[in-house]
Structure 1
Amino acid sequence: MAFVLYLISTIVGLLSILFYFLRERMNYWKKRGIPHNEPSLFFGNMKGVSQSRHLIDPFRDLYKQFKGTTPFCGIYFFQNPSAVILDLDLIKNILVKDFNNFVDRGVFYNEKDDPISGHIFSIEGSKWRLMRSKISPTFSSGKMKFMFQTVVEVAENFTKILDEFVGSEGAVIELKDLNARFTTDVIGKCAFGLDVDSLRDPKAQFRIYGQKAFSEQRHYMIMFFLQSCPRLARKLGMKMTNDEVEEFFMGVVRNTVEYREKNNIKLNDFMGILIDLKNDPKTGLTLEEIAAETFVFYLAGFETSSSTMSNALLELAKNDEIQDRLRAEINGVLEKHGGKLTYEGLEEMHYMLQVFDETLRKYPVLPFLQRITIDDYPTDTDGDSKYIIERGTTVYIPIEPIQMDPEYYPNPERFDPERFTHEKIAERDAALYLPFGEGPRKCIGLRFGKMQIRIGLALLLRNFKFSFCDKTQYPLRFDNRQLVLQTADGIYLKVERV
């Protein structure tokens, strides 16, 4: 009996300590005098996220509530007190001027237990700097020219297959999945040197495991724990990647590297460049590092690009004048270059770039940027101590709320590529458009993503007209369980031959 009482009192004592710790943690911003919304004890400001709300919703609320009143406000990412940056100059300082104090993203990775999570998007400090210097030449304009024709060939195959679906009478097509299969085939060819052919075979392994990487992640509560407490999760040996997905991609990389080295095969694709780095004694990469970098190239390349293509086609289908103007530009440039899509010709499609930029303004795939403060960081020029972001604090830059702010983009729900003429861009603060980030940690695959999306759109619009149908859902509804802005439903459009 005495033991039972002792056990009960111990449990009660531990729970009391935990309750006190959580309550104190949830008073962090209140004690500092920083504007914030009251958190719940266990969910912070994330209550309802992944169920009735998307992760971006709490950031939207705080942005609308506190913008213009404070350089930053507080948010509780579950039990993690974090800062949401509201001042445009402060955003630029964090991303560029004072980058050395915000090098790390503070997202989960675990190279030991989850090797393909240790890629350039996640890794930190000196390891990130070294990897960035190794891989950056891979995405130079020269390397893009090498990959250009490969992407064009996949896109031409895409138009042939779509033409079969459309026929002479036109057809209602679900484009979200079809675009994802196109970008899967592109990445399979450019990153791995493999003919994936998921356009013909939706059940191709590359497509299946790419879907699993997004749709069969760990339970959403575990995912949020991994992101809110990445260092603790790493110490606990936790994983983000699905075991089957890890096994598949590690196997593909291992077999590809062994085959190429054994047969002395040299290709100018992403894998070939990484193999060269592996065999260079000055910059040697491990097999696990190659797998991690090709994995993130695959995930970022197929999902972000296919979503952006789909969203662009949806808006073009809604806006006939914009679609007709873009098609006229495409046809004019192709005629100038002998009917062929060339690298130089793609660069001449200025209105295409405006459509691309406006699509990512309205639908940024990553709705916010995330960084970790290395040292205490004062944000107020008057020296007010309460406006110091303490070391170890996660900071969030709310991309989507800024890019949908009517003060900066009047009538933000309207799709208007004229927002991105050279003159309009020059007039606008650089912090008002950040779909790829900014500064030294800006998206390394920017050039490739822009290239494959514009190639895909150019050849599709050259051959087909897109319009709304009874199954078209507009505006889009986003999947609350995804960390990125990903549509919850298919994108159905009527497609006709031009």
Structure 2
Amino acid sequence: MALGLLILVVILLTTACWLLQQHYSYWRRRGVPEIKPRWIVGNLMGLLNMRTSPPEFIAQLYNHPEAENEPVVGIHLFHKPGLLLRDPGLIRKIMVKDFAKFSNRYSNSDHKGDPLGSQNIFFLKNPAWKEVRLKLSPFFTSNRLKNMFPLIEEVGASLDAHLRQKPLHNERLRCFDIEAKELCALFTTDVISTVAFGVQANSFTDPNCEFRRHGRSVFEFTLLRAAEFTLVFFLPHWVPFFGFKVVPAESTRFLRKTINYVLDERERSGQIRNDLIDILIEFRRNTQQAKAKGVKDQFVFEGDILVAQAVLFFTAGFESSSSTMAFAMYELAKDADVQQRLREEIKEALVASGGQVTMKMIESLEYMQMILMEVLRMYPPLPFLDRECTSDDLYSLEPFHNFQVPHGMPVYIPCYALHMDPQHFPQPRKFQPERFSATNRKLHTPYTYMPFGLGPHGCIGERFGFLQAKVGLVSLLRNHLVTTSERTQRRMQLNPKAMITQAKGGIHLRLVRDPLGI
């Protein structure tokens, strides 16, 4: 009997090994160049061991010797075969030209357990995504941005006042130290709260207010949060089994309660503020009217689907802009010449506007735009993009390869790696805003720069993000100079736990009180 049991175990192990061998020979059998996987984890070991950050992990795959000079390379996400795109032409083909066949992100959260995480425009699948995006687009028109600008400028003035009231750590040098990311997050939290919800968060006077505390919890990457986001982006089908969430339970309760309260109060009062709440109320009314008329087959805008859009605008809006501002401060602190030129541009613009921060004044800052674009090249908020093949038929990669992509296969676009490829951007680790002058921009290889995504799925709030960051930096630099301190990293190290681009240990800088004299 013992011999029979031993034989059975040997047979089972042999069968398991054969099946794994077959599974991990998927790309070889189809003639697709691959990065050799490890059993069980596939090609994700570099991400799981947290020795490098996710942006650098993606860059390692992109620059792997087996991937060199290949337009596309096969990878394994644990048990799941996927594709990593390397050729800009192929990226255009999938992200833009044939978008309809790759219209969904592969990443997702749990629809039932994490409604605010899964039902927002970032994770929504078609046709719901198309419907919601179409409805939200009017919020980001030029007229809407002009209407909300005074609110953004008001928070900018609060940032300036907050910094001018800070006690100096050194009276002789007239300076004080800050953690730039948290300072910028206080600013963007206040902007989003007032612009989107008509709520005064007052983060500068209360850095641990509920809006800031819950916003912080979404993007505070502990080991557990790192595991949650890894599954969301690489094994989304497993997320419900582990009960993982993009928006934590406590934050879900607070944001749902707050946003529903603001929706109900605004609808009751009839007040119009031209903000996101007005648009969400209009969505809800249209749904109620359609129901009353017995209209069928209309997308239902009520409950968590409404709240989820507000939550995404809040979380994505404060995090991406605050990171961009903080990384910009870091690079400016290290490059006095660039900072001096920027401050001179700001001074000239303020003189022309009579000392007022206006929409026209902000839009005139061409060098500021170049700086932010270069910062976003070096530190894109999302280091990669993901898509899922939604075509019912096999999708051909011709003329780049003869492989036909099956329905449901994940595809990854390595933004950070493309941004840091010297073939596309020479001396990629050097901060050079001139790369994005009007003349030099025309020389860039198309589809190699994508800090806000590409194609129809590109970030809907791109213009708002730039506007918010510019107002914040103007408010900061009009009375202060940014320098390094003893705690400033000599070379930026990225957080190995964070799925988004974050600095490891924060961005510690020094501000010197140095008014432009406007």
1:253-272 aligned at under 5 Å gives the runs: 253-272=259-278
Partners of 1:310 and 1:471 in 2: CA distance:
15
State the secondary structure of the residue aligned to 1:289.
helix
Q: Which runs of 5+ in 1 are unaligned?
A: none
Return the TM-score normalized by structure 2: 0.89
The amino acid of 1:186's aligned partner reads V
Q: Are the structure 2 counterparts of residues 472 and 18 from structure 1 closer, same or farther at C-alpha, using a change threshold of 3 Å?
A: same
Residue-by-residue CA offset, 1:37-82 (whole Å, 9 max, x unaligned): 2211121111142521222334212322356632200122222211
- Determine which of 430, 450, 456 is the counterpart of 1:440: 456
Partners of 2:271 and 2:111 in 1: CA distance:
29
Q: Give the drift of 1:97.
A: 0.9
Partners of 1:120 and 1:362 in 2: CA distance:
26
The amino acid of 2:102's aligned partner reads F
Aligned to 1:380: 398
Partners of 1:39 and 1:326 in 2: CA distance:
47
User: Is the contact made by 1:419 and 1:425 (CA closer than 8 Å) also made in structure 2?
Assistant: yes
Partners of 1:80 and 1:259 in 2: CA distance:
47
Partners of 1:160 and 1:54 in 2: CA distance:
36
The answer to whether 1:195 aligns with 2:200 is: yes
Aligned to 1:465: 481
Residue-by-residue CA offset, 1:128-173 (whole Å, 9 max, x unaligned): 1111111111111111111111111111101111112254621122
Partners of 1:427 and 1:100 in 2: CA distance:
29
Structure 1 range deviating more: 16-25 or 350-359? 16-25
Aligned to 2:181: 176
State the secondary structure of the residue aligned to 2:387.
strand
The answer to whether 1:69 aligns with 2:36 is: no
User: Is the contact made by 1:196 and 1:204 (CA closer than 8 Å) also made in structure 2?
Assistant: yes
Partners of 1:463 and 1:238 in 2: CA distance:
44
User: Is the contact made by 1:316 and 1:466 (CA closer than 8 Å) also made in structure 2?
Assistant: yes
Aligned to 1:251: 257
The amino acid of 2:207's aligned partner reads P
Q: Are the structure 2 counterparts of residues 18 and 196 from structure 1 closer, same or farther at C-alpha, using a change threshold of 3 Å?
A: farther
State the secondary structure of the residue aligned to 1:104.
coil
1:49-60 aligned at under 5 Å gives the runs: 49-50=47-48, 51-60=50-59
The amino acid of 2:399's aligned partner reads T
Partners of 2:7 and 2:190 in 1: CA distance:
61
Q: Which runs of 5+ in 2 are unaligned?
A: 291-298
State the secondary structure of the residue aligned to 1:466.
strand
Partners of 1:261 and 1:340 in 2: CA distance:
34
Aligned to 1:164: 165
1:21-420 aligned at under 5 Å gives the runs: 21-50=19-48, 51-64=50-63, 65-66=65-66, 69-117=69-117, 118-165=119-166, 167=168, 169-215=174-220, 218=224, 220-234=226-240, 239-280=245-286, 281=289, 285-375=301-391, 376-381=394-399, 385=402, 387-420=403-436
Partners of 1:389 and 1:344 in 2: CA distance:
48
Partners of 1:27 and 1:176 in 2: CA distance:
44
Q: Are the structure 2 counterparts of residues 216 and 474 from structure 1 closer, same or farther at C-alpha, using a change threshold of 3 Å?
A: closer
Partners of 1:357 and 1:37 in 2: CA distance:
32
Partners of 1:195 and 1:20 in 2: CA distance:
61
User: Is the contact made by 2:46 and 2:57 (CA closer than 8 Å) also made in structure 1?
Assistant: no
Partners of 1:137 and 1:478 in 2: CA distance:
35
Structure 1 range deviating more: 431-440 or 74-83? 74-83
Q: Are the structure 2 counterparts of residues 248 and 20 from structure 1 closer, same or farther at C-alpha, using a change threshold of 3 Å?
A: farther
Return the TM-score normalized by structure 1: 0.93
Q: Are the structure 2 counterparts of residues 235 and 370 from structure 1 closer, same or farther at C-alpha, using a change threshold of 3 Å?
A: same
Residue-by-residue CA offset, 1:395-437 (whole Å, 9 max, x unaligned): 1111111111112211111111100011111122221211011
User: Is the contact made by 2:178 and 2:510 (CA closer than 8 Å) also made in structure 1?
Assistant: yes
Partners of 1:323 and 1:293 in 2: CA distance:
36
User: Is the contact made by 1:39 and 1:45 (CA closer than 8 Å) also made in structure 2?
Assistant: yes
State the secondary structure of the residue aligned to 2:165.
helix
Q: Give the drift of 1:35.
A: 1.8
User: Is the contact made by 2:35 and 2:66 (CA closer than 8 Å) also made in structure 1?
Assistant: no
Q: Give the drift of 1:9.
A: 10
Q: Give the drift of 1:14.
A: 7.7
Partners of 1:253 and 1:14 in 2: CA distance:
55
User: Is the contact made by 1:55 and 1:483 (CA closer than 8 Å) also made in structure 2?
Assistant: yes
Q: Give the drift of 1:279.
A: 1.3
State the secondary structure of the residue aligned to 2:207.
coil
State the secondary structure of the residue aligned to 1:158.
helix
Partners of 1:458 and 1:420 in 2: CA distance:
20
Aligned to 2:296: none
Give the superposed CA RMSD: 2.4
Count of aligned residue pairs for this structure pair: 493
Aligned to 2:293: none
The amino acid of 1:54's aligned partner reads S
User: Is the contact made by 1:166 and 1:497 (CA closer than 8 Å) also made in structure 2?
Assistant: no
Partners of 1:235 and 1:472 in 2: CA distance:
41
Partners of 2:349 and 2:12 in 1: CA distance:
71
Partners of 1:10 and 1:445 in 2: CA distance:
59
Partners of 2:253 and 2:25 in 1: CA distance:
43
Partners of 1:57 and 1:162 in 2: CA distance:
34
Partners of 2:15 and 2:258 in 1: CA distance:
49
State the secondary structure of the residue aligned to 1:481.
coil
Partners of 1:371 and 1:250 in 2: CA distance:
29
Q: Are the structure 2 counterparts of residues 53 and 347 from structure 1 closer, same or farther at C-alpha, using a change threshold of 3 Å?
A: same
Q: Give the drift of 1:444.
A: 0.5
Q: Give the drift of 1:320.
A: 0.9
State the secondary structure of the residue aligned to 2:478.
helix
The amino acid of 2:135's aligned partner reads K
The amino acid of 2:35's aligned partner reads N
Q: Give the drift of 1:21.
A: 4.5
